[in-house]
Amino acid sequence: MTGRKVLILGNSHVAAIRRGWTQIAGEFQSWHLEFFAGNSKLFNKMTLDENKVFGAHGTTRLSPRQQTWLTGMLGVRNVNRLERRLPLDQDEGSAGYSAHQLKFLDQVFGRRTVDLRAFEIVILVGRNVNEVDFLRQFEPYSIDGLCEEAGKPSLSYSTFSRFCREIAMKRLPEPMWHGWDKPRVAILPPPIPCSDCPEDDPRYDIWARYGRDPLKGLPFLKTYRAHVEALYREYGLTLLTPPDEVYDDTGLTRPEFGEAPTRLHPRAGTFDESDFHHMGADYGAIVLRHVLRQLQAKYP
């Protein structure tokens, strides 16, 4: 395919991808990308309805059909201004969203819902594929033919593979995302933390130990991702992964990509120095370029 209309949908990890797009958009001039996201608390609160409209339902004055029709004529921000002048069927607070959350959606994305049917591909960014659980479950074991270590209980590769599938199943996206023809649904997991992450922080302890283990590293994690990819394919989902160039020899993300971890709101600055999980625009540019090429290969 020469170009597609793509929606980048997800949590706070969308920020790096969105900033990265400004660096590489000139390389993909036939592609049209749009973005819609919230921090994890907000994103997990938003819902998908039976018409494939995602967002803060119950807080908009216009129906999804009206929004799509008017947006084509007036543009997103003009429709948003029009909506504010119309009566709302219910109080915004009763829909479960704070005024701050709705203001964020209005200011950053100019809308509170998005019709996924308007896109050919939706990429769910930051979706947990259970990599932390994978690392914790297999940390005590020697695995035949993969990472054999004397003194540890041994697992056969077939047992390892079966458990990988079970671990991946725990984080399989909900059935409402399965088997779509239009739009296609792809999953981009959250970044692996940077290699300078501290082991004494419970958010990163397993990752720090993984990075120090000479028998594990990126090939070990890629083995799990291959099982995730195969499982997702059964449900009509595509797993997307970053290129190897974002990782260093430990299998963790190169520290320079986490030096300016960007937030979703342009005026919110960056995450603080104790954050090793969010990345900056350079990471976003490299990953998004790789992802779009993966999609070109899959959907020629």
**Residue-level pLDDT at 74:** 73
The domain defined by 5-128+173-298 folds into Rossmann fold (3.40.50)
State the average pLDDT over residues 28-44.
96
Least-confidence region, from 12-21, 32-41, 260-269, 287-296: 260-269
Pull the structure tokens for residue 297: 């290969």
| DSSP-based three-state secondary structure for 6 | strand
Highest-confidence range of 3-7, 188-192, 212-216, 293-297, by mean pLDDT?
188-192
Given a contact cutoff of 8 angstroms between Cβ atoms, the answer to whether 27 and 293 are in contact is: no
Instruction: Decide if 116 contacts 7 (C-beta within 8 A).
Output: yes
Q: In whole angstroms, what is the distance from residue 199 CA to residue 215 CA?
A: 18
Q: What is the pLDDT of residue 233?
A: 97
Residue 253, strand partner residues: 194, 247
Tell me what the pLDDT averaged over the chain comes to: 90
Q: For 55-114, write each residue's pLDDT tens digit.
A: 999 886 565 566 666 677 777 667 666 665 554 444 444 478 998 999 999 999 989 999
- The residue extents of the domains of the chain are 5-128+173-298
pLDDT in the model for residue 299: 82
Q: What is the Rg, in whole angstroms, of the alpha carbon atoms belonging to the chain? A: 21
Predicted structure pTM score: 0.88
SS3 9: strand
**Nearest CA among 82, 94, 167, 108 for reference residue 132:** 167
For the stretch 156-212, pLDDT in tens is 999 999 999 999 999 999 999 999 999 999 999 999 999 999 999 999 999 999 999
